Structure 1
Amino acid sequence: MIDGRGAQRRQWRIGLALATLAGVAAAGLVLWLVHDATIAAGFFGAAIVLAGVALAVAMLRRVDTPATAVEHDWELIRALVESSDDGIAVTDRSGRLVCANDCYENLFAGFPTPPSLPLAGDGGGQLAVAGRAAWRDGRATAALRGAVGAIDATITRAGQEQDILVWRFAHGPAPSGQPARFAESIDGTLGAQLGSAGVMAALVTANGHVLAANAVLRTRATGTPDGALTGEDLARFLAEDHGGTVRFISEGEGANPLRLLQIPLSGDDDAPILVVMVDVDTGVAGSAEDVEALLMLMPFGIALVDRDGRFVQMNQAFARAAGVEPGQLPVYPGDLVVREDKSAVADAVRRFASGAARSTDLAVRLKDHPDEPVALSIAAARGLGEAAVLLSLKDNNEENRLKREVAQATKMQAVGQLAGGVAHDFNNILTAIIGHCDLMLMRHSPGDSDYDDIQQIRANSNRAASLTRQLLAFSRQQTLRPQVLQLPDVVSEVSNLLRRLMGETVVLEVKHGRDLGPVRADPGQLEQVVVNLAVNARDAMLAKGNGGKLTIQTRSVPIAEVRRRGSDIVPIGDYTALEISDTGTGIPPEVLPKIFEPFFTTKEVGKGTGLGLSTVYGIVKQSGGYIFADSKPGQGATFTIYLPVHAASGQEPATLLTVPTPAARQRSSDLWGTGTILLVEDEDMVRAVAERALARQGYTVLAAENGEAALELLAGVDRPTLVISDVMMPVMDGPTLAQALRQLHPGIPILFMSGYAEEQLRRSIDLDNVSFLPKPFSVQQLAEATRDVLLAQQGTAAEA
């Protein structure tokens, strides 16, 4: 851009030069007329003064008035608009296109000047009206349709002189899923195969704009295989004769007539349409064999039905989606659906066979999958011999499987959160029951009338505690001690126990693959997984009546198998598999989706809690693995567990919360101790039991119901020897209290107790010298944990 001050200086110099010339001319004229040098000099000075005044006034006005011509840096503007995902164009006051980005070029197949754009309907007129409104009001919008679908146009007046229009075109996402894949295939192998058969194919929008076309169609429509069709209205290249036949305009009036077939990819009004054209003279679709060959090329399910409603042809994709066995072509479309949907399908086929022009979608239920409605697209077919109706059916089996697995995982997660919360509260109750039983047993000896009853209560409480551990395992909230191990070692440890559990009629076979990658898991929990699955398999085989064979196999998982499972289910990676299969009765299809749910069981009342498989599911998931059940009724069941291969690193992740045991010190059987213990627990019954148990061991106990009360209790009191605190508490939780106590008393030992798992608490507790005691616990376990923490503290102080 030009510097304004430099221009003004040049204009001043030019003005002064002109004024000087004018003064000289005036003085010369006066001297020639009157022959008086004094009068001529006066005229010369007056002319100079008047010219200077006039020039100054003019320049002052020019300074006050903005420049009418502003130079725009279009290279800079283009660099800015190029970063936008929307199509952007800039026009000047005269309507000339002066700048546009690449997205604009892709949207409109070049650089046409707005509002003259390739838009559907009266889109150009709407855009022109919006442009005039933008000049008048500063901003205007318009909803349009183009080759890529819906386009939202925003026109804004801009510039220092408000002398340009910025046109922004925001378009919806490009076709995705099946239409996108089909568009690619038309430009690729499928389009070439169709072209070799003389078939011209294009994928167009609902408004007729071309998304993709094969080379044969591009050649016939434009005269060259590289002709630009994308974004163009296909109707521009076709002409309809008086007899109703269609031909290419580029081939002239004597060209071969065309037979045109439109196949909607779905019942949505905005869905892309497959357009197939063949020459009437060659008649690619003239015989049943040619029709079948054409249909076999289609990647989605298509079938043809005659005027009487009978099937004529059906491709493999349609047969697979409809569950039709090879060589068993049904007579009518209604034979594929459940009884309630037969009349709706028959009426739709009859209506379209009689000349209905538009297509429609019906939600029907197939006989093979009555619980999963599918979309059946129906359209009229013309020029395909006996066929009068075209049916399209999408194979939803894989999609429905993924939906079921996602829904199942979501449901299991919700149930797991509920189970974890119930287990946490139940652990508090069991802690109080077991603790009171222990305190009562201290006052009774064997042989007393109440001793056996108290022992029975305690035994049943421990049994209930094992159930809560199973609930925590299902909800992935139990405490695990993971190690790097090999799956064959785990199977070997438990195989002797399994042989005793299987009995005489069940044969146990163990197989191990080669080059198995190590996994990181809790060996005890993996053994529980194997035992639970083996016991269920044994029961299924014994129910069959003649025993059977249980096979346990470990193997590496090829990457192709992982891909078949689906990356949204099992992330791509290296896995080692543990497979347990049996020859029992199998699992019915209606039961298979529910087997991992807690308390779901098919066993008789009193013979199962319904927590075995849910525990397996929770352990596998908490270990970072995946479990799948495959079964056919009467052919046994196979459970496959994928565990990720552990990648060796410099150091294993540390366990933040442990109950330390001094390595150099022998554990003492004496649980008596001294010192002051701060006990913080919001549950009254648990706090009462813990306070009495610690006091009986010789400790001085300060009890508080929450974190704030504990801090108030410590005001004016010497430093406690140990802090025992619950983790989840109202007002102030355990980790917050621990941080506050460490500020008051650095290095004070802390023992956390909780009904939740240690792994779940690591995310909220990042402190050293912190130990963990899971609920429910007995008086003995509380005393031992307290002694171990204090002994570890003494050992640390001695080393320091």
Structure 2
Amino acid sequence: MLWLVPGIAAAAVLTGAALLWLAAGPIAGLLFLVVAGAALAALALRRPSAVAVPDLSQVTSAPDFSLVGTALGLTPDAVALTSSEGVLLAANAGYRERFENRPPQALAADPQSDEALSMARAMAWRDGGGCTTGIAVGKDRFAVEVERVGARNDLLLWRFLKPAPRDAAGLAAHRLRGEAGRRLADAGVLAAFVGAEGDLVAWNSLFESRALGGATPKGPSPLADLVDTTEDGRYRLRCEGELGRSMSAVQIPLEAPGFEGHSYFYLFDSAETASLSGSQHLQAMLDILPIGLALVDRDGRFLTMNDAFRQASGTKTARPVYPGDLVVKEDKAAVADAVRRHARGPAMSGDIAVRLARSPKEPVALTIAGLRGLGDAAVLLLLKDNSEEAKLKRQVAQATKMQAVGQLAGGVAHDFNNILTAIIGHCDLMLMRHTPGDSDFDDIQQIKSNSNRAAGLTRQLLAFSRQQTLRPQVLQLTDVVAEVSHLLKRLLGETVQLVVKHGRNLGSVRADPGQLEQVIVNLAVNARDAMAGKGGGTLTIQTYAVHADQVAELGSDILPVAHYSAISVTDTGAGIPASVLGKIFEPFFTTKEVGKGTGLGLSTVYGIVKQSGGFIFADSKVGEGTRFVIYLPVHRVEADAGKVPAAAKPKVHELWGTGTVLLVEDEPMVRAVAERALTRHGYKVISASNGEEALEVIERGDEIALMISDVVMPGMDGPTTVREARKSRPDLPILFMSGYAEEQLRKSIDLDNVAFLPKPFSVQELAEAARRALAEK
């Protein structure tokens, strides 16, 4: 039966690619097909002793980027794949034609575009996907989508949408030269597409034969040089002279993206005007327009509308009678009054902001213009479908807000950590002089305990801004849940029943066990509060494995196809309304009463999960309960093979040391505590308040065993100071300390053989870190 395996695997691959194509788009489907095809090829070359299913995660660890580039070539947009460091790994022909082989981060033509690209990249690393608009590259502007991809989520897929100005105007010109222009010519309509400078861009055959004399102009041809205005406000072709027939004209400006300054210009022969408003040719004229357009008679009723108008107004199936039928009740009177004024007054135009009945939360601009000389048509309505644009703007605005709040929280936590370091350090120093029987011992211990609680609050701030220092380990979710379940029974109380279920064959995950416990506790406490109004209920915590094929069946645009270990937390509480569900992970958002919630619980959960490389989803029904599901990628143990195990924690009597320590810290209170702590443990300490002073000490030639430095300092920062110091002392051990996250700082430090100590720290933790740094020398 071994001969069946390739056929079954090929069918599975084709099915998975088709599902992924439909769910996540052609690019994701093609990438999946390429990688899976490589797996099948490897399977075909092997001669297995037993039936085996190819492990796609093994194949994706060393992908063939030439095949990826070929797959990307099947999409017309400019698409590129880069590494986490920004190295261009693959690109399609559309990308190379526009940008050659420059990496996406280096394409921006101005600082604003560069900042927007950086923000989209940060969004992708943090949330799995990011987007931005209006990126200037050369003379064109692009909308950019960035997605985090790869089996390890360590690659970025960049998609540059085609520049709208060139493509949109070209499409409009193409339509006018084609079938739509011919139908207008058959109806006696002279049609032209005019550029932003007033020059002709395209025209139909009738306009060419009558206005251009049957010849295509060799250079720019301004519309104003071809048409004259008569005394009664009508138009006459200049080439036909004074004996030419006067005609009615309509010029429709286009303000949609890609058409700024462009317009359509129509000339109607008098013989055709009377019947034009009801003819099929007028409908053809409207349908070639890329914006929503409709004609209304003097009584305020719709005569006709094009497909773009139906799309924008949400009337594809319904047939509205009056323009007021499109808007909410509060805007009906304003629309009716504006239509009546433009139908009976002078030919003029104006914009009003309305809320469509199909999307009352998003105001749109409705342009109303008076028409004359078009038979029954008295008013022209212009409406643009900006739902996608508004959605994109909301996403960018939300991402910008979250980034700003995260930066603020990170900065506050950093400064607060310096204060807590000094408080905790002084408490430790005082406790060394007091014994448990002293009168001041309990007071000092209470101060230290409250300081540690404050340190927990800063960790919450750093968690939701994803700037905390994690201590990841390879672990099983079942072990974490079993460890924290004893605490949960006390937290939930007597009215809530805790049910724990474990699935089989869960893969190991790599995460911080303490932070995962905090995630479970936060979700459980929220569930307890949600069930309090119903007198109690049941909280179910379940762990289970989710395979890649099951992820593909979910069809999620956010969750990449991979193997996951999942944990779900389900309650039978009051549930979360749909209007609130989308805001629950925002910082400081809470539905609890004042004084009963800070709004940091779920945002902390979200930050920990995302920083651990996972995903979290919430599903709720009012009155039935809420379910949170966390997906953590399965850790590949073989990737860690050969790593040196972490050093054992030093014992208390091993913390004594010798030698000279150069301490570089700009905060006097932290510097004083660290200096006294190191001195008490046997070190000779030379202090410096900034990087410049530290380099002066280095230049004196003093014997220095270890350099302990803050990372963020005014003037010369810690990494710069270390680089300069290692020019003369390349083997100098370094211990960095900072209130910011180690994961965030290591990207900017970019130095080898350095240790890291997060703030706030105790006297013992500082001594342990110093001893460990010297031991690794």
With the shorter chain as reference, the TM-score category is: 0.5 to 0.7
Q: 2:168 aligns with which of 181, 202, 206?
A: 181
Distance 2:315 2:775 in 1: 73
Letter in 1 for 2:419: I
Distance 2:434 2:584 in 1: 46
Q: Match for residue 143 of structure 1?
A: none
Q: Match for residue 672 of structure 1?
A: 656
SS at match of 1:776: coil
Alpha-carbon spacing, 1:751–1:674, altered in 2? closer, same or farther (3 Å)? same
Q: Match for residue 452 of structure 2?
A: 462
Letter in 1 for 2:448: R
Whether the 8 Å CA contact 2:172–2:288 is kept in 1: the answer is no
Shift of 1:206: 6.4
Distance 2:616 2:218 in 1: 50
Alpha-carbon spacing, 1:759–1:495, altered in 2? closer, same or farther (3 Å)? closer
Distance 1:745 1:414 in 2: 40
Q: Match for residue 771 of structure 2?
A: 787
Shift of 1:423: 0.9
Verify: 1:441 aligned to 2:431, yes or no: yes
Q: 1:684 aligns with which of 652, 668, 681?
A: 668
Whether the 8 Å CA contact 2:663–2:675 is kept in 1: the answer is yes
Distance 1:420 1:373 in 2: 35
Distance 1:235 1:243 in 2: 18
Verify: 1:307 aligned to 2:298, yes or no: yes
Letter in 1 for 2:719: P
Q: 1:203 aligns with which of 193, 201, 205?
A: 193
* Larger RCO (alpha carbons 8 Å, 6+ apart): 2
Deviation string, structure 1 residues 281-302 (Cα, Å, up to 9, x no partner) = 6988554888677656654222
Letter in 2 for 1:683: E
Verify: 1:272 aligned to 2:256, yes or no: no
Distance 1:187 1:238 in 2: 23
Alpha-carbon spacing, 1:499–1:369, altered in 2? closer, same or farther (3 Å)? farther
Q: Match for residue 678 of structure 2?
A: 694
Distance 2:429 2:700 in 1: 32
Whether the 8 Å CA contact 1:192–1:215 is kept in 2: the answer is no
Deviation string, structure 1 residues 664-699 (Cα, Å, up to 9, x no partner) = x98786322333333333323222322332233333
Q: Match for residue 723 of structure 1?
A: 707
Whether the 8 Å CA contact 1:366–1:373 is kept in 2: the answer is yes
SS at match of 2:366: strand
Shift of 1:603: 2.3
Q: Match for residue 611 of structure 1?
A: 600
Whether the 8 Å CA contact 1:661–1:789 is kept in 2: the answer is no
Q: 1:705 aligns with which of 686, 689, 697?
A: 689
Whether the 8 Å CA contact 1:490–1:527 is kept in 2: the answer is no
Where does the alignment leave 5 or more consecutive residues of structure 2 unmatched? 1-161
What is the total number of aligned residue pairs between the two structures?
597
Alignment of 1:630-669 (within 5 A): 662=647
Distance 1:228 1:634 in 2: 71
Whether the 8 Å CA contact 1:540–1:585 is kept in 2: the answer is no
Shift of 1:792: 2.0
Alpha-carbon spacing, 1:695–1:641, altered in 2? closer, same or farther (3 Å)? same
Whether the 8 Å CA contact 1:470–1:611 is kept in 2: the answer is yes
* TM-score of the aligned structures, taking structure 1 as reference length: 0.58
Verify: 1:478 aligned to 2:486, yes or no: no
Shift of 1:406: 1.6
Distance 2:681 2:422 in 1: 18
Letter in 2 for 1:187: H
Distance 1:253 1:512 in 2: 91
Whether the 8 Å CA contact 2:430–2:444 is kept in 1: the answer is yes
Whether the 8 Å CA contact 1:381–1:389 is kept in 2: the answer is yes
Alignment of 1:118-517 (within 5 A): 177=164, 181=168, 183-188=170-175, 191-192=178-179, 195=182, 201-205=191-195, 209-213=199-203, 231-233=220-222, 261-266=250-255, 271-275=261-265, 285-287=276-278, 298-315=289-306, 317-322=308-313, 326-327=317-318, 329=320, 331-333=322-324, 336=327, 339=330, 345-366=335-356, 372-382=362-372, 386-446=376-436, 449-480=439-470
RMSD, matched Cα? 5.9
Verify: 1:738 aligned to 2:722, yes or no: yes
Distance 1:498 1:217 in 2: 79
Deviation string, structure 1 residues 178-198 (Cα, Å, up to 9, x no partner) = 795254145149953574685
Distance 1:474 1:388 in 2: 57
* TM-score of the aligned structures, taking structure 2 as reference length: 0.59
Distance 2:498 2:327 in 1: 43
Whether the 8 Å CA contact 1:209–1:233 is kept in 2: the answer is yes
Rg: which structure is higher?
1
Whether the 8 Å CA contact 2:466–2:610 is kept in 1: the answer is yes
Distance 1:384 1:675 in 2: 95
Shift of 1:775: 0.5
Mean Cα displacement is larger for which, 430-439 or 776-785?
Answer: 430-439
Q: Match for residue 748 of structure 1?
A: 732
Alpha-carbon spacing, 1:623–1:290, altered in 2? closer, same or farther (3 Å)? farther
Alpha-carbon spacing, 1:537–1:468, altered in 2? closer, same or farther (3 Å)? closer
Letter in 2 for 1:677: V
Deviation string, structure 1 residues 225-252 (Cα, Å, up to 9, x no partner) = x956995456777899999998999999
Distance 1:639 1:702 in 2: 52
Q: 2:742 aligns with which of 742, 758, 763?
A: 758
Alpha-carbon spacing, 1:609–1:332, altered in 2? closer, same or farther (3 Å)? same
Distance 2:177 2:484 in 1: 55
Alpha-carbon spacing, 1:555–1:634, altered in 2? closer, same or farther (3 Å)? farther
SS at match of 2:776: helix
Whether the 8 Å CA contact 1:218–1:229 is kept in 2: the answer is no
Distance 1:293 1:508 in 2: 65
Deviation string, structure 1 residues 437-495 (Cα, Å, up to 9, x no partner) = 32333344446554444333323222221221222233343234679x9xxx9766666
Kindly, what percent of the aligned residue pairs are identical? 51
Distance 1:387 1:513 in 2: 71
Whether the 8 Å CA contact 1:203–1:211 is kept in 2: the answer is yes
Q: Match for residue 588 of structure 2?
A: 599
Letter in 2 for 1:388: A
Distance 1:320 1:529 in 2: 47
